[in-house]
Amino acid sequence: MEATKYEEWSLGLHQQAASQRVPISGTLEVTRRCNLTCVHCYNNLPLVDREVREAELSSQEYCQILDEIVDQGCLWLLFTGGEPFAKSDFLEIYTHAKKKGLLITLFTNGTLITPRIADYLVQWRPFSVEITLYGHTKETYERVTGIPGSYERCTRGIRLFMERDLPLKLKTMAIRPNKHELWDMKQFVEQDLGLEFKFDAMINPRFDCSVEPVAVRLTPEEIVELDLLDPERAMEWRRFDERFTCAVEASEQCTALYRCGGGINSFAIDPYGMLRLCILSQSASYDLRKGSFQAGWKSFLSAVRQTKTTRQSKCITCRIRAMCGMCPANGELEGRDPEEPIDFLCELAHLRAYALDISVTPHGECEYCRGGSKYEELMRAVAKLRRSSNKR
Ligand code: SF4
Ligand code: SF4
């Protein structure tokens, strides 16, 4: 199916699932252990941590959960980690998911891929595989991952998948240590390898509350500069605004804390069997070792979705909310408060909107809106960004 038709089809399915509350998409974080130690990572734990390994769901428990999620209507499944292939019985779990007919996306760092694994995936083909490339050169890649030899292992994994024509896409996290190689990575992947490439610059604090990853995060100005330097990316943001930016709702009618698809048409399960609205949301969880997925989905997550806001915030009637990473889970991770706007995200969303001529309407007291204390500064940044992107 061509990309735009596929997008329409998938969006239609999700909308239908949302109107009936069907768990159509799931994320299974099969392990948080990883063989790499990336500087920006929000959840990795040591590969050989025995205690962590023993706490993870067994393959039998996973197979039981897979049976239950399919019974409830799940169609799409994302396997992620940590590094999924760090879990020794991952292929057993994966194969069970395939046999259940799930459409599987696999996120991997690619470094543990062997010819045997690649051949196996040819036999049990995923819907798509995404490998994260952390740098164009070995030096930069390994500065991010912290592991000597990981660059060669990753490129070998890419080659093994490409030789077998597996549905591979490459991506990167744009962060301080690799920003200077971003366009080289894009050119290498798109032109030399002929694969799809995307990047993301959103970095979260770690689940254990460490803010270390945030130290390598790009500034809002640097992130928006990347948008402006890539016309396709700028166009995608404008398209996103036209399609998803919500109408401004009257604040008194907007009392729901959660406005995403979590618990409506999607869910996440961590390596220890805790069911949640999404992978980032850590506050409310249901133990699938103690109850069924059906009960977790139908009663627990449904109740979580009923949570109301406790106060008025500038996010409630913000027109660019869909473009902004601010959500209760991010609020909890970064500021310990699900309702408190995160200043970094707010600045980034406003700067991006102004730089791309996306309309921002008044939404209460906001320092980044016209008349706000940081508005003029943001406008100077927009002018500077436009000047520098016009020069290139
Ligand atoms: S490869 Fe992924 S999970 Fe592993 S350390 Fe890097 S970002 Fe974290
Ligand atoms: S841009 Fe600011 S006000 Fe709007 S949703 Fe994001 S954090 Fe909230």
Cα of 8 to ligand 2 centre, how many Å? 27
Give the residue-averaged pLDDT of 265-281: 96
Is the pLDDT assigned to residue 275 strictly greater than 70?
Answer: yes
pLDDT at 19 over 90: no
CB 293, CB 275: distance < 8 Å: yes
Average pLDDT rounded to a whole number, residues 261-269: 96
Give residue 365 CA to ligand 2 midpoint distance, Å: 11
Ranges of each domain in the chain: 9-220+254-304, 221-253+311-392
Among all ligands shown, which has an atom nearest to the Cα of 340?
2
- Expressed in angstroms and rounded, the spacing between residue 331 Cα and the centre of ligand 2 is 11
Average pLDDT, integer, range 94-114: 98
For atom 7 of ligand 2, the residue with the nearest CA is 346
Is the model's pLDDT at 35 over the cut of 80?
yes
Lowest mean pLDDT among 10-14, 87-91, 175-179, 195-199: 10-14
Question: Which pTM value belongs to this model?
Answer: 0.91
Q: Which atom of ligand 1 is nearest to the CA of 109?
A: 1
Nearest to 283 by CA among 318, 258, 312: 258
With a 6 Å cutoff on the Cβ, whether 44 touches ligand 1 is yes
Whether 251 shows a pLDDT value over 60: the answer reads: no
Whether residue 246 has pLDDT greater than 70 = no
**Band (4; pLDDT cuts 50, 70, 90):** low
Question: How many CB atoms within 10 Å of residue 371?
Answer: 10
Ligand 2 atom with the smallest distance to the CA of 314 is 3
Distance in Å, CA 276 to ligand 2 centroid: 24
316 Cβ inside 6 Å of ligand 2 = no
Reported in sequence order, the residue ranges of the chain that DSSP labels E, i.e. its strands, are: 25-29, 33-34, 45-46, 76-80, 103-108, 128-132, 168-173, 196-200, 266-269, 274-276, 286-287
* Residue of 33, 41, 113 best suited for mutating to test ligand 1, as the one with most atoms within 8 Å of CB: 41
Q: Which pLDDT does position 253 carry in this prediction?
A: 62
Residue 13, pLDDT above cutoff 90: no
Cβ(37)–Cβ(109) below 8 Å: no
Q: What's the gap in Å between 38 CA and the centre of ligand 1?
A: 5
Whether 173 and 147 have beta carbons less than 8 Å apart is answered as no
Confidence of residue 259 (pLDDT cuts 50, 70, 90): confident
Q: What's the whole-number average pLDDT of the chain?
A: 92
Beta-strand relationship, 196-200 and 25-29: unpaired
CATH level 3 topology of 9-220+254-304:
TIM Barrel (3.20.20)
Asked if residue 335 has pLDDT above 80, the reply is no
**Would the CB of 323 count as within 6 Å of ligand 2?**
no
Task: Tell me what pLDDT residue 366 has.
Answer: 96
**For residue 54, what pLDDT band results from cuts at 50, 70 and 90?**
very high
Section 91-120 average pLDDT: 98
- Average pLDDT in the 119-132 region? 98
The number of the ligand nearest the C-alpha atom of 32 reads 1
Which amino acid appears at position 370 of this protein?
A: R
34 CA from centroid of ligand 1 (Å) = 6
Residue 145: burial class (beta carbons within 10 Å; 0-12, 13-18, 19+): buried
83 lines ligand 1 (CB under 6 A): yes
| 231-244 vs 220-229: helix crossing angle, rounded to 10 | 100
* pLDDT (average), residues 372-379: 97
pLDDT at 179 exceeding the cut of 90: yes
Could you tell me which of 75, 65, 97 has the C-alpha nearest to residue 24?
75
For residues 84-90, give the mean pLDDT: 97
**Maximum average pLDDT range among 2-16, 34-48, 131-145:** 131-145
Query: Nearest bound ligand to CA 364?
Result: 2
Q: Report the range of poorest mean pLDDT among 178-187, 217-226, 328-337, 367-376.
A: 328-337
Choose the residue to mutate in 248, 321, 354 for probing ligand 2, maximizing ligand atoms within 8 Å of C-beta: 321
Q: What is the pLDDT of residue 212?
A: 87
Ligand 1 near 39 CB (within 6 A): no
Share of the chain above pLDDT 90, in %: 80
Q: What is the mean pLDDT of residues 259-275?
A: 95
Q: Is the CB of 157 under 6 A from ligand 1?
A: no
* Cβ of residue 331 lying under 6 Å from some atom of ligand 2: no
Q: What is the pLDDT of residue 255?
A: 84
- Residue 283 is predicted with a pLDDT of 85
- Residue 10 pLDDT class (50, 70, 90 cuts): low
Q: According to the model, what pLDDT value does residue 2 have?
A: 52
In this predicted structure, the answer to whether residue 1 has a pLDDT above a threshold of 80 is: no
